[in-house]
Amino acid sequence: MAEVAIRRQGRAGRITLNRPGALNALSHAMCLTIEAALDSWRDDDAVELVIIDAEGDRAFCAGGDIAALYHHAVMGRFEPARRYWRDEYRMNLKLRRYPKPVVSLMQGFVMGGGVGLGCHVSHRIVGESSQVAMPECGIGLVPDVGGTRLLARAPGRLGLYLGLTGARMGAGDAILAGFADHHVPEAEWPDLILALAETGDPAAIPIHPPPSGRLAGLLPELISLFSSFDVAQIIEAAASRDSRFAAEVHATLSRNSPLSMACTAEMLQRLGPAPGMAEALRQEYRFTWRAQTLSDFTEGTRAVVIDKDRTPRWRHASAADVPRAEVETMLAPLGAEEWQED
């Protein structure tokens, strides 16, 4: 059976991820298939909206297929990952700019590549099982697939917190942070899909009050802790506070990749509060293009995904040890290799 099912249903174009056993991890071929479907429906008057969903209860999409990228990297083959990211980012931008309504229904894990697929579209639905996150700093990467755009636009210092820690958001927190629009109980999703396909109108999405989340009550402390873009200063601030939240932040930032966190903070600072999608993707690609040779990505993937020993040997012992020049190198323009929109 195909990894992603593409078909027409009524007035809707349907895209359904179909790798539930792999938590619907997004392969390169899946990205290209989704992009081709979007291109074919763009000027098709019979398709009035697009619906993106996924098989299985555990995940909409838990991320990109980084295990495949790891195996290429350890063999010294760097171009497949660069091609994958280049093409995936192009698909992400098309979703953001698509001229027709796109509705995503995101259950379970929505992480990394899943955020890029489901969180840039016009109508983003989460349910009671949704767990949305950008956990890349834990594997030596940086939030990408346009994730830095969402993080930069999040209220207060919420984006910096989410980007550095990779904290998971339930439905209410995802709506607060700007990663989702609507909470619809998952039992209603089959009927909602039928209504969307029949009407071709996103007005069929029911209005439910968003559930309460954790982050709204933590915002004052979070804003104080993450007042600086200097990761070492954030860790020091967390160590000095006597609260459960500060202890959680300190523990997480002490185990994530120091280089990834330094680059993530710098990327968000450069983007400012209202970045464009292409601007965010271009900056992300500068890091990911270099990731296999100059960052902690390969080692982080080994420790978390391949060997699962959870003991990565990062390039730097702490955030304070990351040279500013190394961050500048990771984010420097790529010249002829710069990511292009088309």
Active-site residue numbers? Answer: 64, 113, 136, 144
CB atoms within 10 A of CB 341: 12
**Whether the Cβ atoms of residue 27 and residue 3 lie closer than 8 Å to each other:** yes
Task: Enumerate residues 6+ apart whose C-beta is below 8 A from 54.
Answer: 16, 17, 18, 20, 24, 60, 61, 105, 106, 107
Task: Enumerate residues 6+ apart whose C-beta is below 8 A from 43.
Answer: none
d(CA 204, CA 182): 12
CB atoms within 10 A of CB 62: 23
Q: Which two tokens stand for residue 230?
A: 């200097």
Smallest Cα–Cα separation from 145: which of 61, 74, 203, 216? 61
d(CA 286, CA 255): 24
Burial zone of 133 (CB within 10 Å; 0-12 exposed, 13-18 middle, 19+ buried): buried
d(CA 91, CA 16): 15
Q: Which two tokens stand for residue 101?
A: 């309504």
3-state secondary structure of 108: strand
Largest CA distance in the chain: 60
d(CA 214, CA 64): 27
d(CA 57, CA 30): 20
